[in-house]
Amino acid sequence: MKQAFHLSAIERLEFFLSDRAESNKIELLTPDASTRDYFRIKWKDTTAIACIYPEPFNPLEHSYLDATALFLACGLPVAKIYELDSQLGIIVLEDFGDNVLRDVLIKAGSQEKERLIHEAITLIAEIQAATPKAFELKSIASRLKFDEEKLLWELNFFKTHYFETFRKEKQQRKTSSFLDEEFLELSLDLAFRAKVLCHRDFHTANIMIDKENRLRIIDHQDARIGATSYDLVSLVLDRIVEPPAPEWLNDKKRFFLAERERIGLEKIDFEDFNYEFDLMTVQRCLKAIGTFSFQSVNRGKIHFIQYIEPMSRIVLETCKRLQRFPNLQKLIEERI
């Protein structure tokens, strides 16, 4: 069946549907920064989302299928899988509709915004509660970790694509060496704190609101073990054009820690968590800046550029608050 991959994604989907006597009504959807193609299709007496991968896959080693099985086993609100064809690279998923949390928040009033953000934060705590199950099921997510190697790879991705790809700069060897030392220091510190299950890309564009106004999680295939603060940093600081007020951030941190306790997870001291949150802010925001730099230049997704400077400012202010990473501070300060 590998020869089918000379066909386009939609041609493979049409072949898949014709083999099942399904309607060929197909609506192209546009994922944000994905290598996969998504379509809405007619499926039996409802609609479904067809995810088309660029190549065949082994279902037993497929991270999306594995993470979905884990999340569903823990009662987490991810899409059910209706059918798949690994040779055609197709997975047919439950359709949550078109309401993305990011878009809803733009139009929502202040009370509604707070309610939705708090619901999303509760989901982070519930994902972390699934950590023991991940190990029990020997999930792929339990075997992946934000270890030193992974964290450092993401920071080097930032260094390459922010300075060279986006800014067209070539770093001096000495400057680059100093930055490498700080990145290693940050990676070692955060790798030590990697102990809970994380979604890994938990921002408001990866949360849907279904027809019953319930929050639903998507794009969870990269779940892995990471720091307790990882997903919260992603939720409140990813893709923003204006840094949030410190008081608002502290409120969200306290709510998250209270939600963890409410569902039976261990208590974490606020000051300890606050320090980890700042470390994670530096790493996660740099990783995002690297991604935005790469996507805007190499894939023409220039709408990502608007987030680069605000997130750079967040990194700078956080480094100053931590009183750490002076070389990183200097490099960012010179460019914003």
Asked if 279 and 152 sit in the same domain, the reply is yes
Residues 196 and 64 in one domain: no
> Is 243 in the same domain as 139?
yes
Give the residue-averaged pLDDT of 245-252.
97
Look at the block and give the residue holding tokens 């510190």. Answer: 189
Same domain, 36 and 148: no
Phi, psi of 146 (to 5 degrees): -80, 75
- Domain stops at, among 94, 125, 150: 94
Which DSSP state fits 223?
A: -
Coil/strand/helix, residue 98: coil
- Give the model confidence (pLDDT) of 102-123 as tens digits: 999 999 999 999 999 999 999 9
Whole-number pLDDT of residue 300: 93
325/260 same-domain check = yes
Distance CA 255, CA 251 (A): 6
**What burial class does residue 224 get, using C-beta atoms within 10 Å of its C-beta: 0-12 exposed, 13-18 middle, 19+ buried?**
buried
Per-residue pLDDT reduced to its tens digit, 260-318 = 999 999 999 999 999 999 999 999 999 999 999 999 999 999 999 999 999 999 999 99
To the nearest whole number, what is the mean pLDDT of the chain? Answer: 94
* Final residue belonging to a domain, choices 94, 120, 146: 94
Whether 125 and 90 map to the same domain: the answer is no
Of 13-27, 97-111, 225-239, 241-255, the range with the lowest mean pLDDT is 13-27
DSSP type of residue 108: S
Of 68, 94, 120, which closes a domain? 94
Check: CB of residue 289 under 8 Å from CB of residue 162: yes
2-48 tens-digit pLDDT = 455 578 898 999 999 987 866 678 999 876 656 789 999 999 889 99
pLDDT score, position 3: 55
What pLDDT shows up at residue 113?
97
**Residue pLDDT, tens place only, 162-221:** 999 999 998 788 778 999 999 999 999 999 999 999 999 999 999 999 999 999 999 999
Instruction: Find the mean pLDDT for residues 73-97.
Output: 97
In this structure, are 105 and 89 located in the same domain? Answer: no
**What does the pLDDT read at residue 22?**
66
Same domain, 124 and 168: yes
Rounded Cα distance, 12 and 5, in Å: 8
Report the pLDDT averaged over residues 234-246. 94
Q: Give the C-alpha separation, 110 to 112, whole Å.
A: 6
- Asked if residue 233 lies in contact with residue 276, where contact means CB atoms within 8 angstroms, the answer is no
Same domain, 151 and 81: no
Q: Long-range CB contacts (< 8 A, 24+ apart) of 85-88? A: 85/16, 86/56, 86/57, 86/58, 86/59, 86/62, 87/1, 87/2, 87/4, 87/56, 88/1, 88/4, 88/12, 88/15, 88/16, 88/56
Count of alpha carbons within 13 Å of 37, Cβ hemisphere only? 18
Annotate 48-73 with DSSP letters as a single string.
EEEEE-SS---GGG-HHHHHHHHHHH
pLDDT average, residue stretch 56-70: 97
- The span from the CA of 168 to the CA of 297, in Å, is 11
In this structure, what CATH number is given to the domain that contains residue 238? 3.90.1200.10
Q: Are residues 84 and 158 in the same domain?
A: no
What are phi and psi for residue 214, nearest 5 degrees?
-100, 145
Q: How many helices and strands, by DSSP H and E, does the chain display?
A: 13, 9
- CA–CA distances in Å: residue 108 to residues 113, 184, 196, 205: 6, 41, 32, 15
CATH number, domain of 85, equals 3.30.200.20
Residues 224, 109, single domain; the answer is yes
Q: Tell me how many degrees the CA angle 113-114-116 measures, rounded to the nearest 5.
A: 65
Phi, psi of 26 (to 5 degrees): -130, 130
Which domain range does residue 15 map to?
2-94
Per-residue pLDDT, 144? 97
Measured distance CA(281)–CA(121) in Å, rounded: 16
3-state secondary structure of 202: coil
Tally of structural domains, the chain: 2
Alpha helices, H only, 78-172: 101-107, 110-129, 131-136, 140-143, 148-158
Domain shared by 51 and 13, yes or no: yes
pLDDT band for position 82 (cuts 50, 70, 90)? very high
Q: Is the pLDDT of residue 145 over 70?
A: yes
